[in-house]
Amino acid sequence: MAADSRAKAATLDLRRRLLSSSCRLFFPEDPVKIIRSQGQYLYDEQGREFLDCISNVAHVGHCHPIVVQAAHKQNLVLNTNSRYLHDNIVDYAQRLSETLPKELSVFYFLNSGSEANDLALRLARQCTGHQDVVVLDHAYHGHLSSLIDISPYKFRDLDGQKEWVHVAPLPDTYRGLYREDHPNPAEAYASEVKHVINIAQEKGRKMAAFFAESLPSVGGQIIPPSGYFSQVAEHIRRAGGLFVADEIQVGFGRVGKHFWAFQLEGENFVPDIVTMGKSIGNGHPVACVATTQAVSRTFEATGVEYFNTFGGNPVSCAVGLAVLDVLEKEQLQAQATNVGSFLMKHLSQQKAKHPIIGDVRGIGLFIGVDLIKDETLRTPATEEAEYLVSRLKENYILLSTDGPGKNVLKFKPPMCFSLDNAQHVIAKLDDILTDMEEKVRSCKTLRIQPNSVKHPPGSTGPGCRSAAGSRPSI
């Protein structure tokens, strides 16, 4: 039986029997079976079209013909490892170097963002001779053991915090220690990093690196205050460590104004190491680490070869080059700026209309909508967010949540996401929130139950009383 003709229930049954339950699906109560895609759209086995608001992997659009053709054309000729001399890898490194500060001039190619961050950790430790790492609370940097250890989002549910890992507060000006009314949140949060470093040094620890996403995503689509990373870089370098910018989810023009999110700090800010993944290959498994000559030379001085069987192969580099071509040809950075500004403006209007929206933050096509139960305490509206996402799915819009409270709607769509798409999402979001205010917000729970996602017209959702009941708690 062809996979695209297998019934959805049969596919789900096979998955449950053959794959670990820890490999979770989106919308587990009613998964979407996707059989094809194009641009910013995904299509299920019944041909229904879903608007994709979260696939930052398909950076320039699902199945972009230029990217597909580049992979196919190179596959017809040659694909082998990077120990053979080939033009694609040097052409790709040169093109990437043109997007980065001149200091970042040495490139390593790999297969995934996790591999890139693992190598960055190795580079930092070899260069400094130190082991310890400072990370941000709620951070996630990959699924390898070395990266689980520096990802509070994961290690708190596993083996706990290692003695060589030091956690600084997330620079969240909406929920964090220093908020929007603080006179200088950048300095205050950077001072927290300095404090963490000082405490570690008093215990005899030595710093290898400060590791952070340029825009923390799993932490809740956070926009750090301007100047924060520059000050953190001073603190970590003074302590003998390097600054690592994780651009795996936010690089390649997603922020619109700049090609890299770390460039929001200004043209004089240069990380010691930059990691890339996900969007770099538009769904093809390719990743990269960029660093300085000084860092690279200390790594080379060990005499130990760095070899990655598939990293930098001719097909991967052809795909990477094609992604850069599409970004430039279709002016997708400008698209991210224009569409992102439109989304921010109209989401802010929704915030004024709907009290459940506590904060709208973002830049380019990296946007978070923080849902709250009350304005004073800013209690995360976790179940409400889950319910809202399920209702959007019923309207063929795929969105997801993030943040420690799983209450932040995250927008990270393909870069071809249009103004029409944005208008459509805003309209549906408004309709659903209005409906929730009328029928749902007085519920004791909005917990999704299996097989109860879809409700007949006029129903009030799972376990709900009518709007005539108690005052909404949001």
Q: Render pLDDT for 68-126 as a digit per residue (tens, 0 to 9).
A: 999 999 999 999 989 999 999 999 999 999 999 999 999 999 999 999 999 999 999 99
Q: Would you tell me the crossing angle of helices 87-97 and 314-329 to the nearest 10 degrees?
A: 40
Average pLDDT over residues 335-358: 97
Percentage of residues in the chain having pLDDT higher than 70 = 92
Handedness of CA 243, 247, 253, 256 (dihedral sign): negative
**pTM of this prediction?**
0.91
| pLDDT tens digits for range 6-25 | 999 999 999 999 999 999 99
Burial status of residue 238 (CB atoms within 10 A of its CB: 0-12, 13-18, 19 or more): exposed
For residue 77, the domain's CATH number is 3.40.640.10
Is residue 201 domain-shared with residue 109, that is, in the same domain?
yes
pLDDT at residue 158, as a whole number: 87
Contacts of 35 (CB under 8 A, 6+ apart): 3, 4, 43, 44, 45
Is residue 53 domain-shared with residue 85, that is, in the same domain?
no
Bridge partners of residue 274, in order along the sequence = 245, 290
Separation of alpha carbons 216 and 247, rounded Å: 10
Checking if the pLDDT of 4 tops 90, the result is no
Separation of alpha carbons 80 and 313, rounded Å: 6
Report long-range pairs for 256-262 (Cβ below 8 Å, ≥24 apart): 256/333, 256/334, 256/335, 256/336, 256/337, 256/338, 256/340, 256/363, 256/364, 256/365, 257/333, 257/337, 257/363, 257/364, 259/99, 259/333, 260/99, 260/100, 260/214, 261/214, 261/215, 261/366, 262/214, 262/229
In a domain, 378, yes or no: yes
Separation of alpha carbons 330 and 99, rounded Å: 17
| pLDDT tens digits for range 55-69 | 999 999 999 999 999
DSSP state of 73: H
Position 192, amino acid: E
Indicate the residue among 302, 329, 356 that finishes a domain.
Answer: 329
Neighbours of 404 (CB within 10 A): 18
Indicate the residue among 329, 344, 365 that finishes a domain.
Answer: 329
In a domain, 471, yes or no: no
Tokens, residue 202 = 């008093």
In a domain, 237, yes or no: yes
pLDDT at residue 156, as a whole number: 87
Position 175, amino acid: R
Burial status of residue 203 (CB atoms within 10 A of its CB: 0-12, 13-18, 19 or more): exposed
Binned at pLDDT 50, 70 and 90, residue 29 comes out as confident
Number of domains in the chain: 2
Separation of alpha carbons 215 and 426, rounded Å: 23
Question: Which residue has better confidence, 305 or 331?
Answer: 331
Is residue 381 domain-shared with residue 301, that is, in the same domain?
no
**C-alpha distances out from residue 202 to 206, 233, 421, Å:** 10, 20, 53
Indicate the residue among 295, 329, 363 that finishes a domain.
Answer: 329
Is residue 347 domain-shared with residue 226, that is, in the same domain?
no
**C-alpha distances out from residue 172 to 58, 167, 183, 190, 215, Å:** 28, 14, 14, 12, 11
Is residue 260 domain-shared with residue 156, that is, in the same domain?
yes
Distance, C-alpha 171 to centroid of its chain: 16
pLDDT at residue 457, as a whole number: 38
Is residue 230 domain-shared with residue 132, that is, in the same domain?
yes
The angle formed by the CA atoms of residues 153, 156 and 159, to the nearest 5 degrees, is 125
Contact 165, 132 (CB under 8 A): yes
> Parallel, antiparallel, or unpaired for β 207-213 and 242-246?
parallel
Checking if the pLDDT of 450 tops 60, the result is no
Average pLDDT over residues 34-61: 96
> What range defines the domain where residue 10 resides?
3-60+332-439
In a domain, 458, yes or no: no
- Tell me the backbone φ, ψ of residue 403, rounded to 5 degrees: 95, 160
427: left (phi over 0), alpha (psi -120 to 50) or beta: alpha
Contact 261, 250 (CB under 8 A): yes
DSSP state of 372: B
For residue 365, the domain's CATH number is 3.90.1150.10
Contacts of 155 (CB under 8 A, 6+ apart): 148, 149, 161, 162, 165
Burial status of residue 158 (CB atoms within 10 A of its CB: 0-12, 13-18, 19 or more): exposed
- Tell me the backbone φ, ψ of residue 432, rounded to 5 degrees: -70, -40
In a domain, 165, yes or no: yes
In a domain, 283, yes or no: yes
In a domain, 310, yes or no: yes
Is residue 281 domain-shared with residue 368, that is, in the same domain?
no
In a domain, 219, yes or no: yes
Bridge partners of residue 367, in order along the sequence = 362, 411
- The SS3 assignment for 70 reads helix
Residue length of the chain: 474
Work out the widest C-alpha separation in the chain, in whole angstroms.
Answer: 74
Is residue 39 domain-shared with residue 151, that is, in the same domain?
no
Q: What is the mean pLDDT of the chain?
A: 91
Question: Which residue has better confidence, 460 or 383?
Answer: 383
Is residue 252 domain-shared with residue 319, that is, in the same domain?
yes
Is residue 286 domain-shared with residue 374, that is, in the same domain?
no
DSSP state of 386: H
Binned at pLDDT 50, 70 and 90, residue 439 comes out as confident
Is residue 54 domain-shared with residue 70, that is, in the same domain?
no
Is residue 147 domain-shared with residue 290, that is, in the same domain?
yes
**C-alpha distances out from residue 116 to 66, 96, 120, 161, Å:** 26, 15, 6, 22
